[in-house]
């Protein structure tokens, strides 16, 4: 887990696949299919297309919210919000065996509970204000540091992260970040991913010294 791309809501199967393929070529290691307004039948077709792309690039495919779609498309896992089913209920679903569960968290207590409930990884945010989480206040890098100090599970920082602030997020303790607009809305998604990945890895190397 290093650079995690969440798809934006705009775009059909062709456009989304084009952006995802470019991001994979640029260094993204995990793709999350998140289309809040796309009909489920279209999401299924898109998920199958992204499954092919992620396998070609040896990357993971995660489905937002819909465990049934993750199973149907043979994705690597599902990402759950705070209002979704608890991880134990999802893990018990027929066909979900061997898949990953991620959980969005917005406080230290939620992150700790996600670990207790068996999430394989935790997303912490939104670190900075972002229109993809309209109405939800930013938690800041302080929460990233607190989570980094106490949980024993992989976690990523998410929310408003871009090239100009990724170093601050790494310095706070995050070894992985998730982005939407910084790549999905970029004029050149492959180049945007490359630059973000390079900045992330470079800062991690500095942090380890």
Query: b or e along 39-62 (b: 16 or more beta carbons within 10 Å of the residue's beta carbon)?
Result: eeeebbebbebbbebbeebebbbb
Average pLDDT over residues 92-106: 97
Q: Which two tokens stand for residue 38?
A: 């796309």
Q: 81: how many CB neighbours lie within 10 A of its CB?
A: 14
- Give the pLDDT of residue 133: 67
Q: Residue 140: which of 156, 123, 125, 155 has the closest Cα? A: 125
Cα 94 to chain centroid distance, Å, stands at 24
Average pLDDT over residues 182-202: 97
Q: Can you say whether residue 26 is alpha, beta or left, with left for phi > 0 and alpha for psi between -120 and 50 degrees?
A: alpha
- Give the pLDDT of residue 208: 78
- Active-site choice (2, 17, 133, 146): 133
Range of the domain at 152: 3-208
* Local structure of residue 205 (DSSP, 8 states): H
Q: Measured over all CA atoms, what is the biggest interatomic distance in the chain, rounded to whole angstroms?
A: 49
Q: Look up the CATH number of the domain holding residue 25.
A: 3.20.20.70
Residue 34 known to be catalytic: yes
Asked whether the predicted pLDDT for residue 105 surpasses 90, the reply is: yes
Please, which pLDDT band fits residue 207 given cuts at 50, 70 and 90? Answer: confident
Q: How many domains does the chain have?
A: 1
- Active-site choice (35, 103, 104, 195): 104
pLDDT tens by residue, 110-145: 999 999 999 999 999 999 988 766 667 899 999 999
Q: Which two tokens stand for residue 149?
A: 């100090």
What CA–CA distances, in Å, run from 146 to 65, 109, 123, 128, 178?
26, 10, 13, 16, 18
- What is the helix, strand, coil percentage profile of the chain, to 5? 45, 15, 40
- Active-site choice (34, 35, 51, 103): 34
Angle at 194 between CA 191 and CA 196, to 5 degrees: 110
Residue 133 known to be catalytic: yes
Average pLDDT over residues 6-23: 97
């Amino acid at each position: 887990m290093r650079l995690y791309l969440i798809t934006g809501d705009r775009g059909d199967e062709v456009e989304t696949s084009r952006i995802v393929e470019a991001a994979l070529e640029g260094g993204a290691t995990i793709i999350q299919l998140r289309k809040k307004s796309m009909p489920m039948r279209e999401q299924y077709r898109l998920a199958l297309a992204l499954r092919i792309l992620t396998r070609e690039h040896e990357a993971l495919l995660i489905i937002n919210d819909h465990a049934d779609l993750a199973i149907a498309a043979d994705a690597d896992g599902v990402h759950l919000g705070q209002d979704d089913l608890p991880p134990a209920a999802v893990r018990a679903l027929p066909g979900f065996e061997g898949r990953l569960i991620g959980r969005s968290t917005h406080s230290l207590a939620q992150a700790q509970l996600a670990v207790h409930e068996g999430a394989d990884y935790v997303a912490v945010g939104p670190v900075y204000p972002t229109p993809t989480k309209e109405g939800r206040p930013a938690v800041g890098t302080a929460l990233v540091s607190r989570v980094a100090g106490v949980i024993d599970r992989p976690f990523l920082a998410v929310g408003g992260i871009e090239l100009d602030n990724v170093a601050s997020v790494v310095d706070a303790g995050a070894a992985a970040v998730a982005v939407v607009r910084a790549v999905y809305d970029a004029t050149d998604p492959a180049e945007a991913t490359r630059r973000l990945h390079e900045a992330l890895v470079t800062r991690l190397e500095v942090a380890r010294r």
